Amino acid sequence: MKVLVVGGGGREHALIKKIKESPRVEEIACCPGNGGISYDAKCYPDISATDIPGVVRLAEKIKADFVVVAPDDPLVMGMVDELNKAGFRTFGPTAAAAIIEGSKVFSKELMQRYSIPTADYKVFDDSAEAVAYIEQKNEFPAVIKADGLALGKGVIIAEDLGAAKAAVKEIMEDKVFGASGSKVVVEEFLTGPEVSVLAFTDGKCVKPMVTSMDHKRALDGDKGPNTGGMGTVSPNPYYTSEIAEECMQTIFLPTINAMNKEGRTFKGCLYFGLMITPKGPKVIEYNCRFGDPETQVVLPRLKTDIMDIFEAIESETLSELNIEWSDDACACVIIASGGYPKSYPKGLEISGLTNGQLSGVTVYHAGTALKDGKLVTSGGRVLGVTALGRDLKEALDKAYAAVDKIDFENKHFRKDIGARALAAIKNG
C-alpha cells in the first residue's frame, strides 16, 4: 500500500520509519517532509501541512491508500474530515474531536462536566478581569494559558503579579499567539512529576502506549523558557502499574466516554499530559495527536505493525488487536539551534551524518533541509538523536555519545535529559 504522511518534523520522521517496517507498505510520501525525511519518503516540500486542498489533491495524485495526519493544526482545521469526504482512509481525529487540543476552554469544561481530575481554573475573555482575579487570589506561581494552539508555548507560569500581568498582556492585548489568545485560562499551579501517555483509541476502547517523560524547558535543570520539547525518555519511572490503573479508570476511559457523549468520538492518538500530584494523577493537557518528541522514544519500542493499528482504529476494531512493546528503554536528545525557542539562524551546515544517519542510533530529523546535496538546519529543533538500550542509562549513553559526533554552528542541547528519571529509578 501507499501511505501519505502529513507533517515535517521529528515526530513525522519517527512515524515514517515505523511505517516503513510494515511489510504491506510499498511507498511512503510526506508533505512537506524535510531534508532528513527525504531519505525515507518522497517529500513534497511545496505542500504545507495546513494546505487542506493541496493535501487532498496530492493524495488523489499519488493514489494514497492511507493518509496519516500528524500535526495539531491541520487536525483542528478539519483535514481528516476533508480527506474522508474525498474517500480516503485516514489516521487522526476529525475537527469535532480535535477541539480537545484546539481549545483549552473546551477541554477544561469537558473535564469539569465529566469529573475528570484536573487543576481548578477560571476562563476570561477580558484582560482586566483576568488580572483582577489573579490579584485577588494572590496565589503564586499562577498558571496562565492561551485558549488556542500556540506551538506548545502558550502556557506561562507566572512567579509573581508583575509576571502574571505581563503574561495576560502578551496573550490578550499584544496577541503574541494571535487569535489563540482571545480567551485565557487561569489555573491552579500543580506539583509533581509529569508523565506523557499517548494512547491509541477508536472511540470504543483505549490502548495506552508505553509512557514517556518530556523535558520542556530550554535549559539544564528545567530552567529557561518552555519549548516544544528538548528530549524524552521512555519508560517514565514515575508511572507505576497502580497509577496506570487509576489513570485508566479516572482519566482515560472517562475521557473517551465523554467525547462520545458530546458527539465528538475521538479516533486516533490521544495524548494525555499528566501530573502525578500528591492528590493523584491529574490532566495538565490533552493533545489530539502524537507528541513531539515523545513519539521518537515510544515508537521505537513498538513491535506490532503500525499499519495494523491504524487500520484497526479506522475500522473500529482496535479491541481485537494485541499491541506488543519491547522492554528496552529509549532516549531522545534534541539538538536545537542556539537561540531556540526565540530567534535562531537557519541554513547552517550539519556535519557528522552520513545520509542523515549515524550508526548505533537513529537520528530523527526535525528541522533540516538538503541544500546542494548537503544537510543544513532549517528549524529551531534540528535533530532528535535516539537510542534504545537494555536500560535507560545505556540508552542515554548511546544517544549522548552520538550527539557529540554531530555538529553545526552554535548547536544547543540539554545535558541532563533523563537525569531525573535515572534518579527516580535509583531511589526506587
Stretch that binds ligand AMP, among 24-32, 46-54, 188-196, 393-401 (CB under 6 A): 188-196
In the complex, minimum distance from the CB of residue 248 to ligand AMP, in angstroms, rounded to a whole number = 21
Residue 101 within binding range of ligand GLY, rule CB under 6 A: no
Out of 190, 309, 334, 395, the residue judged to bind ligand AMP by CB under 6 A: 190
Residue 328 within binding range of ligand AMP, rule CB under 6 A: no
Q: Which of 278, 285, 190, 192 is nearest to 236 (CA)?
A: 192
Residue 152 within binding range of ligand GLY, rule CB under 6 A: yes
Residue 155 within binding range of ligand AMP, rule CB under 6 A: yes
In the complex, minimum distance from the CB of residue 234 to ligand GLY, in angstroms, rounded to a whole number = 13
User: In terms of CB distance, is 29 or 284 closer to ligand AMP?
Assistant: 284
User: In terms of CB distance, is 155 or 330 closer to ligand AMP?
Assistant: 155
At 297, which helix (H) or strand (E)?
A: helix 295-298
Residue 56 within binding range of ligand AMP, rule CB under 6 A: no
Q: How many residues bind ligand GLY (CB under 6 A)?
A: 7
Q: How does strand 213-214 pair with strand 231-234?
A: antiparallel
Residue 43, all three cell numbers:
517529500
Q: How far apart are CA 197 and CA 290, in angstroms?
A: 10
Cα distances (Å, whole numbers) of residue 191 to 276, 280, 281: 8, 11, 10
Out of 65, 285, 292, 294, the residue judged to bind ligand AMP by CB under 6 A: 285
Q: Which of 187, 156, 157, 171 is nearest to 126 (CA)?
A: 171
At 171, which helix (H) or strand (E)?
A: none
Q: Which of 156, 154, 159 is nearest to 139 (CA)?
A: 159
Contact set for ligand GLY, span 111-140 (CB under 6 A): none
Stretch that binds ligand GLY, among 20-28, 124-132, 141-149, 286-294 (CB under 6 A): 286-294
In the complex, minimum distance from the CB of residue 352 to ligand GLY, in angstroms, rounded to a whole number = 25
Residue 214 within binding range of ligand GLY, rule CB under 6 A: yes
Packing angle, helices 306-314 and 10-20, rounded to 10 = 100
Contact set for ligand GLY, span 183-212 (CB under 6 A): none
291 makes contact, choosing from ligand GLY, ligand AMP, none, with CB < 5 to 8 Å by partner type, with ligand GLY
Q: How far apart are CA 414 and CA 380, in angstroms?
A: 14
> With contact defined as beta carbons under 8 Å apart, do 59 and 67 qualify?
yes
Pattern of binders to ligand GLY over 333-362, x per CB under 6 A? ------------------------------
Contact set for ligand AMP, span 225-244 (CB under 6 A): 226
Please give the full DSSP string across 49-75, using - where no structure is assigned: TT-HHHHHHHHHHTT-SEEEE-SHHHH
Q: How far apart are CA 164 and CA 135, in angstroms?
A: 9
In the complex, minimum distance from the CB of residue 320 to ligand GLY, in angstroms, rounded to a whole number = 29
Q: How far apart are CA 218 and CA 231, in angstroms?
A: 10
229 makes contact, choosing from ligand GLY, ligand AMP, none, with CB < 5 to 8 Å by partner type, with ligand GLY
Residue 299 DSSP one-character state: G
User: In terms of CB distance, is 29 or 70 closer to ligand GLY?
Assistant: 70
Stretch that binds ligand GLY, among 175-183, 284-292, 335-343, 406-414 (CB under 6 A): 284-292
Q: Which of 74, 108, 103 is nearest to 179 (CA)?
A: 103
Q: How many residues bind ligand AMP (CB under 6 A)?
A: 15
Q: Which of 306, 305, 304, 383 is nearest to 68 (CA)?
A: 306
Residue 10 within binding range of ligand GLY, rule CB under 6 A: no
Q: How does strand 223-226 pair with strand 217-219?
A: antiparallel
Q: Which of 366, 369, 347, 370 is nearest to 413 (CA)?
A: 366
Residue 100 within binding range of ligand AMP, rule CB under 6 A: no
* Three-state DSSP state, 107: helix
In the complex, minimum distance from the CB of residue 294 to ligand GLY, in angstroms, rounded to a whole number = 6
Question: Contact residues for ligand GLY (CB under 6 A)?
Answer: 152, 214, 229, 287, 291-292, 294
Question: Contact residues for ligand AMP (CB under 6 A)?
Answer: 119, 143, 152, 155, 157, 187-190, 194, 216, 226, 273, 284-285
